[in-house]
Structure 1
Amino acid sequence: MMALVPYDRSSLPALSKLHDTSVEFHFANRRVRLTQDWNRLGVAAVVWDAAVVLCMYLELGQIELGGKAAIELGAGTGLAGIVAALLGARVTITDREPALDLLRTNVRDNIPPDQQGAAVVSELTWGEGLERFPAGGYDLVLGADIVYLEETFPALLRTLEHLSSARTAVLLACRIRYDRDRTFLAALRRSFAVEEVHYEAQRDIHIYRATKLQTRVEL
C-alpha cells in the first residue's frame, strides 16, 4: 500500500528531509544520489533510516555479495538494492508498479554503465504473480522497513517463502514500533530460523536474518 502520511511539517522538522527531491550517501566507495518524490508517491518514494542501516550492514561484509543473486522487496527508492549491486551482487529490485519509474531512474543514475546489468527493476506485488520469480532462486532477500502494514503480512510471508530456499539469507531491517511487528516476527519463525544480527541504537533499527527451515521428507 502506498499512502501519504499526513503531519504538521512545522511541528516535526526532522521529517522535512522527506520533502527533499534528492538525497545523497556514500556507499561502496561511491556517491549514491537518489531522487525522492514524497508529493507523488508518499512513503514509497523517500529514504528511511532502515535502508541506510541495512546498507551500512552490507558494507560490513558479514554477507557475501560477490556474484550472488539477490532481490529487494518493497524497494521504494532502491537504496539497498543499488548498494548490494555496487558491492557485487546481481539484484532484482522490486516494488509495486507506481514506484517503478522512480526506481529505474535511481538505478540508471547510480549503477555505472559497465555494471548496468547488475541491477534490474521488476514489478512485484507481494503474494501475486510469484511464478514470475524462481522459487528458492535467490541467495539473498533484502527488505528495509517493509514490516509495518499488518494487512500485508500474509502476502509478505508467502512471498518470502516462495523466494527462499534453505541457502537463502533474508535480511529485514526495521524498527519494532508496535505489537503487530512482533507478531510478524513470530509468524516468520514458523517457517524460518530468525536471529537479530545487528542493532543500530542511534536510529533504533534492528536487522534480522532469517533462514528457511528445511522440511523433512518422509519416505
Structure 2
Amino acid sequence: MALVPYDPEGIGIQKFHKPLATYTFVNHQIQIKQDWKELGVAAVVWDAAVVLCTYLEMGAFNLQGCSAIELGAGTGLVGIVAALLGAHVTITDRKIALEFLKSNVQANLPLDIQPKAVVKELTWGQNLGNFSSEKFDLILGADIIYLEETFVDLLQTLEYLCTDHSIILLSCRIRYERDQNFLKMLGKHFTVLKVHYDPEKDVYIYKAHRRSHKDEL
C-alpha cells in the first residue's frame, strides 16, 4: 500500500474523496466504499485494480474453481471480481484495513458466492505460517510493488505462497526506478512476462511463475 497519492496536488486525487466508487464487472454493479480520510490509500480504488479486473474479465485465465489470493487488497475490488468469476479467493491485507475490506466484500457478493471469498490478515513477511496448508493457483496484486522498504518482505511472501504451478499477476504503474528494481528482483526467482498494457491508465500487468529447469536451459 502506498503512503502518498500519485499526484497529491492534481485533480486526480478528487476521486479518492468520493464515498463510493461504482463499477460494472461480470454483469454485476459493484459499489466500493472509500474512506480516504480515515484509512488513506488502503481505502480507495487505484487504476491498477480496475485494469486487473478488466484483464481477468477478458478471460485470460479460467477462474472457475481455481484457488486465488489477493495481496494488499485494500478495498477488495480485485478479489470481489475474482470471486464473481468463479474463483475461491482469500482476500488479504494488514489488520488495520480488515474490517473495511470485509464490509466491501460482503456488500458486493451475492449470498451464494460469499463463502468463496475469505478475508484474512496478512502482513508481508509475517504470519506466513497461517497459509501453510493453502495452495494457490493464482496470486493477485494491484499496485503493491512501489514501496521500496516492503520489497524483500513481498518477495518472501510470493515465494512462500507459490507452488510450481502458481501464476502471479501484478498490475502496476511504473513510476520510479525502484519499481523496475522490484521486477528485476522478482526475475531472479521467477519467469516474468509483461502480458498487458492499458495506455489510457498507464498500467502494466506482469505475469510470473516459478522458473523451471526448462526455463533455465
Q: Which TM-score tier does this pair reach, normalised by the shorter chain?
A: over 0.9
CA 1:4/1:41 → structure 2, altered by over 3 Å: closer, same or farther?
Answer: farther
Deviations 1:60-112 (A, max 9, x none): 10111000000000000000000000000000000001110111000110110
User: What aligned pairs does 1:61-76 form with structure 2 within 5 A after superposition?
Assistant: 61-76=59-74
Structure 1 residue 12: deviation in Å?
1.8
Per-residue CA deviation, residues 38-70 of structure 1 (Å, 9 max, x unaligned), is 001111110000000000000110111000000
2:5–2:13 CA contact under 8 A, matched in 1: no
Aligned position for 1:120: 118
Q: How many residues align?
A: 214
The reply to whether residue 56 of structure 1 matches residue 54 of structure 2 is yes
Distance in 2 between residues matched to 1:70 and 1:196, nearest whole Å: 20
User: Structure 1 residue 201 and structure 2 residue 199: aligned?
Assistant: yes
CA contact (8 A) 1:135 1:164 kept: no
Give the alignment's TM-score, normalised by structure 1.
Answer: 0.93
User: 2:112 is paired with a residue of what secondary structure?
Assistant: helix
Distance 1:136 1:185 in 2: 25
Q: Give 2:25's match in structure 1, choosing from 24, 27, 50.
A: 27
5+ unaligned residues in a row in structure 1: which ranges?
Answer: none
User: Is residue 92–residue 119 contact of structure 2 (8 Å, CA) maintained in 1?
Assistant: yes
Give how far 1:5 is off: 4.7
Report what 2:84 is aligned to: 86
Closer, same or farther in 2 for the Cα pair 1:102/1:156, shift >3 Å?
Answer: same
* Matched residue SS, 1:147: coil
Whether the aligned pair in 2 keeps the contact of 1:171 and 1:207 (CA below 8 Å) is yes
Most deviating of 187-196 and 11-20: 11-20
1:120-176: CA deviation from partner (whole Å, max 9, x where unpaired): 100000000101113671000000000110000000000000001121110000011
Match of 1:99 in 2: 97
1:15 Cα offset (Å): 1.4
In 2: Cα distance, 1:163 partner to 1:90 partner: 15
Query: Which amino acid is 1:210 matched to?
Result: A
SS state at 1:14 partner = helix
Please provide the CA RMSD for this pair: 1.7
Whether the aligned pair in 2 keeps the contact of 1:135 and 1:163 (CA below 8 Å) is no
Match of 2:159 among 150, 158, 161: 161
Q: Quick one: distance in 2 between partners of 1:186 and 1:5?
A: 24
Residues 117 and 123 (structure 1), Cα distance of their counterparts in 2 relative to 1, 3 Å cut: same
Residue from 140, 144, 147 that aligns with 1:146: 144
- Structure 2 segments unaligned to the other structure (5+ residues): none
- CA 1:137–1:104 in 2, change beyond 3 Å: closer, same or farther? same
**Structure 1 runs, 4 residues or longer, greater than 6 Å off:** none
TM-score (norm 2): 0.94
* 2:36 is the counterpart of 1:38: yes
- The residue aligned with 1:189 is 187
Matched to 2:161, the amino acid is: L
